[in-house]
Amino acid sequence: MNIHEYQAKELLRQYKVATPDGRVAVDAENARQITKEFGGQSVVKAQIHAGGRGKGGGVKFAKNPDEAAELFKKMLGMTLVTHQTGAEGRKVHTVFISNPVDIEKELYLAFLVDRGSSRITLMASTEGGVEIEEVAEKTPEKIVKVVIDPAIGLSGFQARQAAFALGLSGDAFKKAVTFLQNLYRLFVEKDCAMVEINPLVITKQGDVVALDAKIGFDDNALFRHPDVLAYRDLNEEAPEEVEASKFNLNFIKLDGNIGCMVNGAGLAMGTMDIIKYHGGSPANFLDVGGGATEEAVKNAFRIILGDKEVKAVLVNIFGGIMRCDIVANGIVKAAKEIGITVPVVVRLEGTNVEEGKKILAESGYNLIVGNDLKDAAEKVVASVK
């Protein structure tokens, strides 16, 4: 789960990680008021779960309180397009007013879980403010990686090593070391997957502050962080994914046109592969789970068919714990209640497969039987061509 910049900064403050003063404005008058409190100037920032807002027009400097009010009005409700949102962009529902800082240097800092070393890794670079992907491509030597031993945590030595690599000295050096140690503590205690500070700013006054903050959490640990879960913003998630999560379905929207309903994550990935292999393109990843009910299958179908891009559906079930007759009943129920308007290819195998096939055959709906996985994939791809 990801959160907004203003929420990430609330967490930073809890952990004594320095960040500029800032508040969400509820309306234009409020934006004016906050700007007055900041001494007459502010940075007006659109809150969406995507980076690159600055270049897209989502970060603007207000030279006076009236301008802040104007910028607020323009930004709220606008559709912001950045290189991370895709062409359709994201609607801005929240606007954050930040107390401006005088930038001396923009640096880059991130903690993330590195799968290669299976450890939390600190990444630091003197090239802040620009996309780190660009730095990694053009000047990879400017990114310093520090791998952290979980038993020891971020040691003082490592924090100093990173601060040194950032080219800091004196007071800023000391402040950066404390900054890193507090940020690491946040990362571990809140079960983060990624914390990115870009830019980390050294101000003209010599302070070290997080000007921007992006935090992603490990979804599997959210149950023990109700405070973090409260930050969830459904506006930022694909509506199909929000709907699917209500029924405990593991659903991820993709951009193809063949809907997939599968039990088991591995089989679901294999199904997407075989669709691709035969020249098709999956519209989603969906694992209905091992113990899904008729009701879950029906809802899964409803969510898949709710996508206007879907031109055909491939149902691929291997009945282990899941029984094929339950799946078949779910499909027939969906056909009755929602209506099925696109070709549906069904491949069933395993527990109660004969009952399942019988239910489908006698349903009166035009459901195409796949004799095996290859046959099913070929049939579903052919049906959209």
**Binding site residues, Mn ion, CB under 5 A:** 198, 212
**Which residue has the closest beta carbon to Mn ion?**
212
Q: Find which of Mn ion, ligand GDP, none residue 101 binds, CB within 5 to 8 Å per kind.
A: ligand GDP
CB of 63 to ligand GDP, least distance (A): 12
Q: Which is nearer to Mn ion, 213 or 303 (CB)?
A: 213
Annotated catalytic sites, by residue? 108, 196
* CB nearer ligand GDP, residue 46 or residue 303: 46
Q: Residue 210 touches which of Mn ion, ligand GDP, none (CB < 5 to 8 A by kind)?
A: none
Q: How far is the CB of 319 from Mn ion (least distance, A)?
A: 48
Binding site for ligand GDP (CB under 6 A): 43, 51-54, 59, 98, 100-101, 103, 106, 129, 198-199, 211-212
Smallest gap from Cβ 76 to ligand GDP, in A, equals 17
Closest approach of ligand GDP to the CB of residue 219, in Å: 23
The listed partner (Mn ion, ligand GDP, none) that binds 188, CB under 5 to 8 Å by sort, is none
- For residue 100, the partner it binds in Mn ion, ligand GDP, none, with Cβ less than 5 to 8 A by kind, is ligand GDP
Task: Report the partner that residue 211 touches, choosing among Mn ion, ligand GDP, none (CB closer than 5 to 8 A by kind).
Answer: ligand GDP
Q: Measured from the CB of residue 338, what is the shortest distance to ligand GDP in angstroms?
A: 40
Out of ligand GDP, Mn ion, none, which partner does residue 59 contact, by CB within 5 to 8 A per kind? Answer: ligand GDP
Question: Cis (ω within 30 of 0) for the bond into 199?
Answer: yes
Report the alpha-carbon distance of residue 377 to residue 383 in Å, rounded: 10
Q: Indicate the residue among 106 and 307 with the shorter CB distance to ligand GDP.
A: 106
Considering the complex, what minimum distance in angstroms separates the CB of residue 78 from ligand GDP?
14
Query: Among residues 51 and 370, whose Cβ is nearest to ligand GDP?
Result: 51
Nearer to ligand GDP (CB atom), residue 102 or residue 339 = 102
Nearer to ligand GDP, 101 or 244 (CB): 101
Q: What is the 3-state secondary structure (H, E, C) of the chain?
A: CECCHHHHHHHHHHCCCCCCCEEEECCHHHHHHHHHHCCCCEEEEEECCCCCHHHHCCEEEECCHHHHHHHHHHHCCCEECCCCCCCCCEECCEEEEECCCCEEEEEEEEEEEECCCCEEEEEEECCCCCCHHHHHHHCHHHEEEEECCCCCCCCHHHHHHHHHHCCCCHHHHHHHHHHHHHHHHHHHHCCEEEEEEEEEEEECCCCEEECCCEEEECHHHHHHCHHHHCCCCHHHCCHHHHHHHHCCCEEEECCCCEEEEECCHHHHHHHHHHHHHCCCCECEEEECCCCCCHHHHHHHHHHHHCCCCCCEEEEEEEECCCCHHHHHHHHHHHHHHHCCCCCEEEEEEECCHHHHHHHHHCCCCCEEECCCHHHHHHHHHHHHC
